[in-house]
Structure 1
Amino acid sequence: MFVRMVLWCCVWMLLPCWAKCQQLRNAAALPDSCISPNLPDGSIDTSRTTIRSISVSGNKVTKEPIVFREVVLASGQTYHNADLEKRIRQTREQLMNTALFVTVDVQKVPAGNGFIDINIAVSERWYLFPLPYFKVVDRNWNVWVNEYKASLDRTLFGVKIAHNNTTGRNDKMNVWIIGGYTQQVEFKYQLPYVDKKMEKGFTVGMSYGRNREINYATDSNKQQFLSLSKFGRDYIKAEATFSYRKGSQRRFYLRSVFGWEKIDTAFFNLNPKYLNGRLSATYLDVMANYQYFNVDYIPFPLRGWMIDVYATHRFSKALGMTQIGGRALATWEFLPKTYINFQSVVALSTPRNQPYYNTRMMGYGSMYMQGLEYNVVDGTFGVMGRTTLRKKLFTATFKGPEKWKTYSRIPFTFYLKGYGNLGYVYHENPGKTNFMNNRLLRTAGMGLEIATIYDAVLKLEYSFNQFGQSGFFLHTAADF
């Protein structure tokens, strides 16, 4: 029964990609042409256009090769007009998905006799953020406000120095010095391209932290915490990642993470299975990850599809496990300004009997169900599917002083949406009180979304579930 459930849910996860592939298969792609736009009689073929030159403007920090890495047009190439428009749109979308620019405008400048010049005008984001840092540690705003009365003891604060384009090559450097709920020091540097072909890159990082409170168990599908007057948990992490980007839309990552965890005896006495009967544990994670992005805008996609799959093995005497999983999304406009979105998430880990440290599933990260914000469901297998129907209402533009230049006009786009979620989490021994395990979970609701620059999305939602619970919820994180 369990094996059949796993196979069925894996098929369910791939349904969004299958649906989008069926749609794309019916769309005829127009091939490129390298011939002249002139007809044999010397007249101009108005159905084709030749690009004479491509230039970039507005990139004060970003190097030109980083921009041209995303361009799917070529100088001297002749295109059917429909194919040209498709490539211009794809170029703009890929440049926006670099998260380097506020706006991208791919301009066609007539040059006569069937030729055009292409100018890519970009407005760069602010890249350097030496800012005060504040973050709520709970999984969402509702848990923090309603269950912990917006306690400042459950927040992180400090200094975050982030440079998101350090040398102009889309390389990112982060230095965090954090206090509050967790005392943490972290450094990370990511360079996407180190070779001439601009395909290979790397990421390195280290962090150390300690805190007085941990989530030591789950009861009635709610996290249970214990807080000490002294620091009761210490951890160290070091990571190294190799990245490979083939073409424009495919990415492959090979990542290794070394970790060390230590807990106080007070936590151990409450749940000896937290670190599998130990007070401390070390592990080495090795993960392979494949991603494919073919959407208009990754943080808030309205057209296209994407997939993210991974396999990881944790080498550890106490915490050893193997996990495979992934996410998929497909979305398209089926009526004017009306979009349908299918999402799915799945994860499977072995062996089935895992220490508590390894069993986070529903309610964490991207595997969450609207309407179950106050709950978590632990296990070794989980799957979730979501369908969302969006209607674009209008765009309001905030007009600032002209001296703000790039930010003199900030758009806010409003969407009305309705959604439904299905989910399932398997746990071999969930405990008597965790009633949401090993059963089909159902939620639904409606809400308002506000999208603006810097990948920011505000979600105001009213959701309900099969257990008779309902309420208003606030989210600020992207779905994917």
Structure 2
Amino acid sequence: MLLISLFHAFWMSVWGGTPDTTQKVVVRQVQIIGNFRTKERIIRREMDVKGGDTLTVFQLDSLLEYDRRKILNTNLFLSVELKKKVVVDTTQLPFYTADAKWMGGLTMVDIEVVLKEQWYLLAFPVFELADRNFNEWWYERGRDLSRTIYGVYALHQNLTGNNDRLRLRAEFGFIPRLDIYYSIPYLDKKQRTGLTIGILRITNRSLAYRTNRDKLSFLGSDERTRERIVPYLTLTHRPKFYGYHSFSAQYSMTNVADTIARLNPNYFLGGKSRQRYLQLSYSHFYDRRDRGQYALRGYIYGFYVSKIGVLPSEDVDILEATFNWGQYIPLAKKLYFSYLTELKVATPARQPFLQTRGMGYGGDLVRGYELYVIDGPHYSYLKTNLRYQLLNRTFNLSKFIKLRQFNALPIAIYPNIYADVGYVRNPYPELNNSQLANRPLFGFGVGMDVVTWYNFVGRINYSFNHLGEARPYFAIGREF
């Protein structure tokens, strides 16, 4: 009875209704449960808390929450729980910790890391549109089903249990493509340095050969209009938990049909039909978000610099740099605000069309301008978002699905409002009759995001821009 009373008093004082956050505890050990494939060292690499640590209750709770986020951000697990278990009240009993340190007069706890692993092998057929996004295909390409890509996509996210990835993407149809790479995050015993190696081959028959009035112009042909082969290698370095460095080298070999060179002599500049260059780049980013796939708290920033064309004899000579910063701020219960800004600069001002990537590709755009490609070597934008967590629930499907990787269905729904602003600097707007470069761009709207299994995010937005255009835009995909 005395032991039970002491245990109850300890629990109430440390983790009860009125906790004493200055109370010190000792972590006896950290146990990992549920990692059937993943090596323990990969999980422990993400943890600040270790056996033998002496911490206040406040410090322990804070570190455990950060450790939970870091483990979740490895993208290896569907769920991560870090549980504290009181071993015994040892306020009067000295003991030895796992690393043989003498301790006495402190309370001892065990930490349990309870994991639910993902299904690591993903293999599914590819059937997608060849255009930049669904909205361009729907509004600009007449919903032409011949502009489709089909094939197979296979990814193993944890090939040997070391968080290493093997990816194969074989596509046919409108744009044949072969992309294969292998990536391992840690090569050394200290788990700081990693390696990615791969090769990409793309063949085009229909090709966007220029922009005109901020829209892509395509040439359709039964013959091959472009072939591109790019072998690449990347070294990564992660000295601590949140900061990442990467050094990349790739060699690009691209040939286009003579028709492309005649229609747009600036495709490679000077009417050339071939381009060869070595590209070296360095990037650094620091990520303190709660979850990389759909963040609600924290911040991230990054810097990227690249030299395209290293040797004097090569066909391209461009130096470019990009900086971005984003912050995710909880304003109230279930209400979240975020902003993301990016700045890109490049020199020289006159660049081949293939390398002139302004706004309109991927996520580099002002919402409301999804149908436009705004060329220019320099751009900047600011995106803001206010979202409300309407639903965040995990449904138990174990009665219907026995596989543990699929018997829990998480669904989160976030209605949101947003407003963006951006600017593209183009010193030669007459080359593509640009109407949107060299002027401020404004877009705003309302939307709904749905986040579910394996980082799949579906979005529907209704956006407005300064041109007076208003329409819905759709996106769905997996955010790795």
TM-score by length of 1: 0.88
For residue 184 of structure 2, the aligned residue among 172, 191, 196 is 191
Report the equivalent of 1:244: 237
Superposition CA RMSD, Å: 1.9
In the alignment, is the contact (CA less than 8 A) between 1:278 and 1:318 conserved in 2?
Answer: no
Q: Which residue is equivalent to 1:173?
A: 166
Equivalences for residues 37-56 of structure 1 within 5 A: 47-56=23-32
**Larger of the two Rg values belongs to structure:** 2
Aligned pairs for 1:100-139 (under 5 A) are 100-113=76-89, 114-139=107-132
Query: What residue number does 2:285 align with?
Result: 291
CA–CA distance in structure 1, aligned partners of residues 138 and 394 of structure 2 = 31
SS at match of 1:362: coil
User: Which residues in structure 2 correspond to 1:3-402 (within 5 Å)?
Assistant: 47-113=23-89, 114-276=107-269, 277-315=271-309, 317-402=314-399
- Cα distance between partner residues in 1 of 2:142 and 2:115: 44
Aligned residue for 1:246, secondary structure, equals coil
User: Cα distance, 1:406 vs. partner?
Assistant: 3.5
Q: Is the 8 A contact 1:222 1:374 kept in 2?
A: yes
Find the counterpart in structure 2 of residue 414 from structure 1: 413
The number of equivalent residue pairs is 439
Distance between the aligned counterparts of 1:138 and 1:372, measured in 2? Answer: 15
Q: What does residue 9 of structure 2 align with?
A: none
Q: Which residue identity does 1:171 align to in structure 2?
A: D
What is the percentage of aligned positions where both structures have the same residue? Answer: 28
Q: Quick check: 441-450 or 136-145, which moved more? A: 136-145
Is the 2:455–2:479 contact (alpha carbons within 8 Å) kept by the matching residues of 1? no
**Post-superposition shift, 1:46?**
7.2
Cα deviation code 1:418-476 (max 9, x no counterpart): 11101000111112731100001111111111112311211111110011001111123
When structure 1 is superposed on structure 2, of 393-402 and 166-175 the one drifting more is: 393-402
> What CA distance in whole angstroms lies between the structure 1 residues aligned with 2:275 and 2:334?
52
Shift of 1:477: 5.3
Q: Once the 2 structures are TM-superposed, how far is the Cα of residue 174 of structure 1 from its aligned partner?
A: 1.1
The separation in 1 between residues aligned to 2:30 and 2:322, in whole angstroms, is 41
Between 1:448-457 and 1:258-267, the stretch displaced more is 448-457
**3-state secondary structure, aligned to 1:295:** coil
1:48 Cα deviation from its structure 2 partner: 2.0
**Is contact 2:301-2:326 (8 Å) kept?**
yes
**CA, structure 1 residues 389+479, in 2 after alignment: closer, same or farther (shift >3 Å)?**
farther
Q: Contact 2:175–2:202 (CA<8 Å) still a contact in 1?
A: yes
TM-score by length of 2: 0.88
Q: Which has the higher contact order (CA 8 A, sep 6+)?
A: 1
For residue 79 of structure 1, report the CA deviation from its aligned partner: 1.2
What are the ranges of 5 or more consecutive residues in structure 1 without an aligned counterpart?
1-36, 39-43
Find the aligned partners of 2:387 and 2:188 in 1 and give their Cα distance.
41
Uncovered stretches (5+) of structure 2, i.e. residues with no partner? 1-12, 15-19, 90-106
CA deviations on 1:94-148 (whole Å, 9 max, x unpaired) are 0111011111111111112221111111111111123222232222211122222
Q: Quote the residue 1:455 is aligned against.
A: 455
Give the counterpart letter for 1:435 in structure 2: Q
* C-alpha displacement of 1:396: 4.5
Report the equivalent of 1:30.
Answer: none
Partner of 2:98: none
Distance (Å, rounded) in 2 between the aligned partners of 1:478 and 1:185: 20
Q: Is the 8 A contact 1:366 1:479 kept in 2?
A: no
CA distance in 2, matches of 1:45, 1:207: 54
Q: How far apart in 2 are the matches of 1:352 and 1:449? A: 38
Q: Secondary structure at the match of 2:427?
A: coil
Q: What SS is found at the alignment partner of 2:137?
A: helix
- Looking at structure 1, the residues matched to 82 and 21 of structure 2 have their Cα atoms a distance apart, in angstroms, of 23
